[in-house]
Amino acid sequence: MSFASKVIAACALMILLGIGVLSFRSTLRDERDREWVTHTHVVVESLEEILIDINQAETGQRGYILTGDADYRKPFEEGTQNVHRDIEKFRELTTDNPSQQEAARRLQPLIAARLAGLVERMEIRSRSGLVAASRAVASGNNGEELMEKIRERVGEMRETEDRLLRIRLEEASASSQRMKTVIVVGNAVGIFILLLAGFVIHRETGRRNLAEQNLMHINERLERRTLELSETNHELESFSYSVAHDLRAPLRQIAGYSNLLNRDYGPKLDAEMQRYLHKIEEGAAKMGRLVDDLLSLSKIGRQQLSLEATPLDSLLRQAVDELAPECSGREVEWRIGGLFSTECDAGLMKQVFVNLLSNAVKYTRKREHAVIEVGQMRQNDTRVIFVRDNGAGFEMQYVGKLFGVFQRLHKARDFEGTGVGLAIVQRIIRKHGGDIWAEAELDQGATFYFTLGWPQNDAKKSNTNGKPESAITNEVYSVARS
């Protein structure tokens, strides 16, 4: 998924999350509005209960005046108690409304006066009888006036609550409508963004599929090209092997006839002619060594590995022993560290050590005290073997040409060699799935490093470092150190 798709999807998710938050807040708001509506209904009911309680007290008073029966005092007393309780309840319910609190404060004396009048007539009935009580009721018109004022005050208070109820219902309805609008619009926007994200993803998927198809075609072409190059390399190796093998016979003839000519007719020739014959013999011998090295290089490229668990310490000791004659008469200090065991072709790996150590011995020849060090180290969790010397070294600008064939970093008169040894070493290392590289400084010595990976017997496969085995066609233009 591209950055644009991620941004679009994130926007859609943010919108949906926002809608969820708003829905949750709307639910809380609806619950609060319903609580206020219920609260208003309870306040209105408490006002109705105040009137009912006063009517109950009046009914008890009339019954007692008419009959004198003490049982009618009970409804009166209950009404009186309930009206005080309901007034307190109303005051508690309207603590957040100062106007209703003020209205309750003005209503309370009216109710008290009305109840006091009822109590007064009941006492007249108790002391003086029905006739006196009836006259007191007939003459006392202020009771109806008080009751009318009470009803007016209660009506005003109810109108206030009804107005609050309408306001709260309107607010709840408006809030609900706004929330519905937000949800509908938000969902529409979220769906649009998701559709847009789907379109972008579909387009990118199409592009990716097209890119994958192109990559597949490119890989197919690369595979065909790799196969063609592999076949070409095999043909070139066969050709080089054939050429090198066929050169041996004429070289032997040149060397043999030059030797015979020098032996039979050398004394009869002047010094200049003898020098010419000597140059021919040297050239033939050098050409023979080059042909032998070229055959060795070609043979390694065609050779199948014979893998077995091998201690590299043993191969290193054998290589040092073989080089003992070359060190005769010289002061050479060997610093040999412990190496590990691995699965490899013992013969080829011995040749690696022989070539690298031979190079070190050769290029430290001009040192009075030569130091050659062999050991191992860890680099990115990989075991690396190194061969270090304090010899002539080389300039690092030529390090890319170091493992080529038939070209040299040093003059032949300074250091002998055919320029194939390091190419052979590289071929062997890469056949074992490893890699080789070098670090050096001119006249400060050189260090060669190599690793071993998973050996490959099939030259068409790549090694663990992802580098294909180098072919002769890639090496003949490079420069070698030995």
Q: What confidence tens digit (pLDDT) does each residue in 271-314 have?
A: 888 788 788 877 777 677 666 666 666 666 667 888 899 999 99
Q: What is the mean pLDDT of the chain?
A: 78
Q: Are 337 and 383 in contact (CB under 8 A)?
A: no
For tokens 């990989």, what's the residue? 382
Q: Are 355 and 389 in contact (CB under 8 A)?
A: no
- The predicted pLDDT at position 479 comes to 32
Quick: pLDDT tens for 351-365.
999 999 999 999 898
Question: Per the structure block, which two tokens stand in for 222?
Answer: 């690369």
Q: Give the C-alpha distances (Å, rounded to integers) separating 355 from 12, 389, 441, 448, 450.
A: 67, 13, 20, 11, 13
Is the torsion defined by CA of 166, 172, 176, 182 positive or negative?
A: positive
The stretch 56-75 carries a mean pLDDT of 83
DSSP 399: G
CATH level 3 topology of 3-202: Four Helix Bundle (Hemerythrin (Met), subunit A) (1.20.120)
Q: Which of 143-147, 176-180, 312-316 has the highest mean pLDDT?
A: 312-316
CA dihedral 260, 263, 269, 272 (to 10 degrees): 80
Question: Per the structure block, which two tokens stand in for 264?
Answer: 């039979």
User: Quick check: 416 pLDDT over 80?
Assistant: no
The structural domains of the chain, with segments of one domain joined by +, span 3-202, 305-481
For residues 16 and 440, which has the higher predicted lDDT (pLDDT)? 440
Q: What's the rounded Cα separation, in Å, for the pair 303 and 266? A: 44
Q: How far is CA 236 from the centre of its chain?
A: 47
Q: Are 44 and 162 in contact (CB under 8 A)?
A: yes
Helix, strand and coil percent figures for the chain, each rounded to 5: 70, 10, 20
Quick: pLDDT tens for 224-275.
888 777 666 665 566 566 665 567 677 777 878 778 877 877 777 788 887 8
Quick: pLDDT tens for 92-129.
888 888 888 888 888 888 888 888 888 888 888 888 88
Q: What's the rounded Cα separation, in Å, for the pair 452 and 428? A: 10
Give the model's confidence band at 390: pLDDT under 50 very low, under 70 low, under 90 confident, else very high: very high
- The predicted pLDDT at position 206 comes to 83
Beta strands in 381-478 (DSSP E): 382-389, 436-440, 446-450
- The predicted pLDDT at position 437 comes to 93
- The predicted pLDDT at position 121 comes to 81
Task: Please state whether beta strands 446-450 and 332-336 pair in parallel, antiparallel, or not at all (unpaired).
Answer: unpaired
Q: State in Å, rounded, how far the first CA of the chain is from the last one.
A: 53
Q: What's the rounded Cα separation, in Å, for the pair 273 and 268? A: 10
Read off the pTM: 0.45
> May I ask the CATH architecture of the domain 305-481?
2-Layer Sandwich (3.30)
Question: Per the structure block, which two tokens stand in for 208?
Answer: 């990716």
